[in-house]
Structure 1
Amino acid sequence: MFGGKIGVPEILLILVVIILLFGAKKLPDMARSLGKSARILKSEAKAMKSEGKDTQAAPSDPPNAAQEAPKTIQAAPGDVTSARPVAQPTDSTTQR
């Protein structure tokens, strides 16, 4: 029916309809968020590919808890005086 050809008049008509539906003020924000989403998706896909290569190259060893630095828990945001290092809880502390 249409022949599958999209020319300049059809593209202009589509752009006018989009501007009328969403408004000119919201379009830059929508394009910006779409760009951020595309970058996040690309970086996650790259991380998954590199993670797959790393797991195939080296055998998976459980992490050694003795090598990790102690974590700091603060009583309230910005309260530096009550910050103290704590050890990571083990499974034996949760059993009765």
Structure 2
Amino acid sequence: MTGALKPWHIIVVVVVLILLFGAKRLPDAARSLGRSMRIIKAETAGLRDDDKDLAEKADAQAARQPLPGDNEPSPSPVVDPVERVKDR
């Protein structure tokens, strides 16, 4: 058995739904299901955008932070005290 959905399967499901809920309630149920799907789609897109924004902020912050050795002052030249006396 391949598990493919045949046209008669769909017809049986539609008939059962009409018998259970009635013809008047089905359009309202389909409409509310469509609204719910749109809300879920919008919320998941918002979550993806939030994740992308957080990743971009983290990348920007990492780019701004200097490397560990960059903050050290450059070494000052070592002057021998004997040479100071000679210069005077």
- TM-score, normalised with respect to structure 2: 0.58
Whichever structure has more helix as a proportion of its residues is: 2
Runs of 4+ displaced beyond 3 Å: none
Structure 2 runs not aligned, ≥5 long? 59-88
2:25 equivalent to 1:29: no
Between 1 and 2, higher relative CO (CA 8 Å, sep ≥ 6) is seen in: 1
User: C-alpha displacement at 1:5, in angstroms?
Assistant: 4.1
The amino acid across from 2:48 in the alignment is K
CA distance in 1, matches of 2:57, 2:37: 30
2:56 equivalent to 1:57: yes
Aligned partner of residue 58 in structure 1, secondary structure: helix
Identity over the aligned pairs, expressed in percent? 46
1:63-94 per-residue CA deviation (whole Å, 9 max, x = no partner) reads xxxxxxxxxxxxxxxxxxxxxxxxxxxxxxxx
CA distance in 1, matches of 2:5, 2:52: 42
User: C-alpha displacement at 1:11, in angstroms?
Assistant: 1.8
The amino acid across from 1:7 in the alignment is K
Structure-to-structure mapping, 1:1-96, within 5 angstroms: 3=1, 4-58=3-57
* Residue correspondences, number: 57
The amino acid across from 1:23 in the alignment is G
CA distance in 1, matches of 2:55, 2:5: 46
Whichever structure has more strand as a proportion of its residues is: 1
